Chain A
């Protein structure tokens, strides 16, 4: 009786399978910035999904059931790589199709196509959750976006060759738009170069490299090790109002440590959007950089 019931349930499952008549390319992006870029280049020809949202720390995601169903049907997996998703991607990729396995055309790790900074000389977990591959938050340097967009265009044209010319056109438009934006941003950031900041985690290193800001300290004891009272006290003793201009956190960082330090030192805390959806304005990549620069300008104009 129970075996019959089991068989029935299985049959039921197979027939309820929506035979998804979807001509669009399914793109599984690990982070919102890559979903946004996929939509810029892919336009109406792609259906992009982001496994994480701006309030989540992309290091720490659960390989939850819905991600399995999404990756199972993906034509392209588009992530930062460099170890950012190492805690949850490998288990999901095992459930994906062969085209999107590592080494194949559908497995696209952005950091393989950009310069990578912060590569540690010494690999020891005593230094925290170090990434032997370097800093994976590559999307916050606008020049990297161009490099990644170029590779994305190449891959889309191979995977979906019938729409090759469409992707090429979208790509050309995006590059024009982006290069103009870089010219504009370069003027806007002149006033904030050289300022001194305290960070929570190394999430913004690419942005600050580009903006030529100086990182004085990090609230995390070591990468991935949450702030402790003694570490914060230590920072407090070594900083005063004049040596640091702002404290920068991302939307997913806990703010207790930053607020505590700010109260003691009167150094303002600034939340940068970090990715698409990180604040109200940041609904596409250009807006993300616009908003980040505007927030920094406002916070630093009298420093």
Chain B
């Protein structure tokens, strides 16, 4: 762990350092370019004319792009009493099923722009209301800067710093409004408290290969699930990933990735309404796979996607339940989901998702507590249909059945109607 941190700090220092060293080289290149421009200008009117078209500047273009996402929903749950805990796990507040009735979801506001030739910046905040008695709360979802290719890092490399939905699995990098279902699958709810957007820095490198291959690594404060509770001094978490992808033919493509996040917390990660606290070392391994097929070649009209992610979490530390004392714990649990979404035509899509958690064995001292899975594996099944009017508006219906604990009394049938719309800047869609 220490060596690894050292390696990452070294890498980052190295790239920042090389930037200064290569400044000389850069000067040469600028001179070369200037010579070329002179050459071009000397060629006379015809050739210079063409380039003037790309220099048009409008006053407003300096304002950042602004995008707004509005979403609202109606939830109906068959289980009227409080939701049962996910058997065998202690989860954070955002991993819970949410509120019943009519409500606003996260309303998001995003600003993004190139800062100058070398940096790009983006900030997203969401306004949420967690209960009828609480005030509206501003959640800082993302606020990061990223180097552009003009930064003169080696080709294909970029550095991102701040707070962001970091590279981990398929869904984490995407904002919830881009999800195919109204809620996130169990492993995201249990391990990530919905999503991982810690504060930190990540370096990524796309290899110059024929197929798509990207590797990356990062270091983070450790103040978010899956770690949470940093000591505030050293980096609380580190990560690494590698992924590959390509086309099978012109209408089929795939992507496969492996990811790891590792961190140690000292002040504890709280779960299940702060009753259960974990302190120690957490390592989360994730692998994701996605396949998509356009049966007619045109994804606008028909598309089939298959997506699966497998999570494994190793915890080595202590669990403290209701301040009842520290219990040693060292175990590995698993969580996974698989989903498929089919687009019937430009307007209608349907989807199916199954997710499941597999609990670890617990030491004697924890038998009978919330952390004791008693051999039960919590599951969740979701069926959805959605209607898309344009790229900017969508209405979704979803039926979800959670069985988070054993027994027929723990079956929760959930029905959701949701709208998601976006206003303003037309953001590009990540794969």
Query: Which residues of A approach B to under 8 Å, CB–CB?
Result: 2-3, 6, 9-10, 13-14, 16-18, 20, 53, 55-57, 59-66, 68-69, 72-73, 83, 86-91, 94-98, 101, 103, 109, 112-113, 125, 128-129, 150-151, 154, 158, 224-226, 252, 254
- CB–CB B50/A150 < 8 A: yes
Chain B 231-259 interface mask (CB, 8 Å, partner A; 1/0): 00000000010101111001001110010
| Bound-complex Cα distance A225 to B346 (A) | 9
Chain B 163-187 interface mask (CB, 8 Å, partner A; 1/0): 0000000000000000000000000
Q: Which of B150, B292, B300 meets A64, CB within 8 Å?
A: B292
- CB–CB B156/A101 < 8 A: no
Using CB atoms, name the residue of chain B closest to A109. B54
How near does chain A come to B175, taking the closest CB pair, in angstroms? Answer: 14
How near does chain B come to A216, taking the closest CB pair, in angstroms? Answer: 23
With a cutoff of 8 Å between Cβ atoms, the chain A residues found around residue B426 in the complex are 83, 86-87
Known contacts A13-B213, A94-B120; is A252 also within 8 Å of B208 by CB? no
Known contacts A53-B250, A63-B430, A72-B208; is A225 also within 8 Å of B54 by CB? no
- CB–CB B210/A69 < 8 A: yes
Q: Which 9 pairs, one residue from A and one from B, show the smallest C-beta to C-beta distance?
A: A65-B245, A55-B297, A65-B212, A91-B428, A60-B300, A90-B428, A69-B212, A226-B346, A66-B247
Q: Which of B296, B298, B391 meets A129, CB within 8 Å?
A: B391
| Bound-complex Cα distance A60 to B296 (A) | 14
How near does chain B come to A219, taking the closest CB pair, in angstroms? Answer: 12
Q: Which of B215, B297, B299, B390 meets A224, CB within 8 Å?
A: B390
**B285 at interface, CB cutoff 8 A:** yes
- CB–CB A64/B245 < 8 A: yes
**B17 at interface, CB cutoff 8 A:** no
| Bound-complex Cα distance A16 to B36 (A) | 36
Using CB atoms, name the residue of chain A closest to B347. A226
**B158 at interface, CB cutoff 8 A:** yes
Known contacts A64-B431, A101-B149, A226-B346; is A13 also within 8 Å of B155 by CB? no
- Given A2-B260, A64-B247, A98-B149, 12 new contacts (CB under 8 A): A6-B260, A9-B242, A10-B240, A13-B207, A13-B242, A53-B297, A94-B120, A94-B148, A98-B150, A112-B53, A125-B390, A254-B345
Known contacts A18-B209, A69-B209, A69-B210; is A87 also within 8 Å of B298 by CB? no
**B140 at interface, CB cutoff 8 A:** no
Known contacts A64-B247, A65-B245, A88-B428; is A151 also within 8 Å of B50 by CB? yes
- CB–CB B300/A18 < 8 A: no
Q: List 8 A-B contacts (CB under 8 A).
A: A2-B285, A6-B240, A14-B207, A17-B207, A69-B209, A98-B152, A150-B50, A226-B346
- CB–CB B300/A252 < 8 A: yes
Chain B interface helix/strand/loop/mixed: mixed
Q: Which of B206, B242, B347 meets A10, CB within 8 Å?
A: B242
- CB–CB A65/B246 < 8 A: yes
**B102 at interface, CB cutoff 8 A:** no
How near does chain B come to A222, taking the closest CB pair, in angstroms? Answer: 8
Determine the interface band of chain B, counting residues with CB < 8 A from chain A.
35 or more
Using CB atoms, name the residue of chain A closest to B33. A105
| Bound-complex Cα distance A73 to B155 (A) | 9
| Bound-complex Cα distance A101 to B148 (A) | 9
- CB–CB A113/B150 < 8 A: no
Using CB atoms, name the residue of chain A closest to B48. A154
**B392 at interface, CB cutoff 8 A:** yes
How near does chain B come to A70, taking the closest CB pair, in angstroms? Answer: 9
- Most A CB contacts (10 A, CB to CB) among B240, B426, B428, B429 go to B428
- CB–CB A225/B215 < 8 A: no
With a cutoff of 8 Å between Cβ atoms, the chain B residues found around residue A91 in the complex are 428-430
| Bound-complex Cα distance A94 to B210 (A) | 18
- Most B CB contacts (10 A, CB to CB) among A59, A94, A96 go to A94
Known contacts A18-B209, A55-B298, A113-B50; is A65 also within 8 Å of B431 by CB? yes
With a cutoff of 8 Å between Cβ atoms, the chain B residues found around residue A3 in the complex are 4
With a cutoff of 8 Å between Cβ atoms, the chain B residues found around residue A65 in the complex are 211-212, 244-246, 253-255, 431
Using CB atoms, name the residue of chain A closest to B246. A66
Chain B 289-330 interface mask (CB, 8 Å, partner A; 1/0): 000101011111100000000000000000000000000000
How near does chain A come to B8, taking the closest CB pair, in angstroms? Answer: 12
- CB–CB B300/A57 < 8 A: yes
**B79 at interface, CB cutoff 8 A:** no
| Bound-complex Cα distance A83 to B426 (A) | 10
**B47 at interface, CB cutoff 8 A:** yes
**B30 at interface, CB cutoff 8 A:** no
How near does chain A come to B171, taking the closest CB pair, in angstroms? Answer: 16
Using CB atoms, name the residue of chain A closest to B36. A158
| Bound-complex Cα distance A279 to B11 (A) | 52
**B389 at interface, CB cutoff 8 A:** yes
| Bound-complex Cα distance A88 to B299 (A) | 13
Chain B 25-58 interface mask (CB, 8 Å, partner A; 1/0): 0000000000010001000000100100110000
With a cutoff of 8 Å between Cβ atoms, the chain B residues found around residue A17 in the complex are 207-209, 213
Q: Which of A16, A56, A97 meets B299, CB within 8 Å?
A: A56
Using CB atoms, name the residue of chain B closest to A96. B149
With a cutoff of 8 Å between Cβ atoms, the chain A residues found around residue B208 in the complex are 17, 20, 72-73
- CB–CB A62/B292 < 8 A: yes
Q: Which of B4, B36, B155, B212 meets A97, CB within 8 Å?
A: B155
Q: Which of B47, B283, B346 meets A154, CB within 8 Å?
A: B47
| Bound-complex Cα distance A83 to B425 (A) | 12
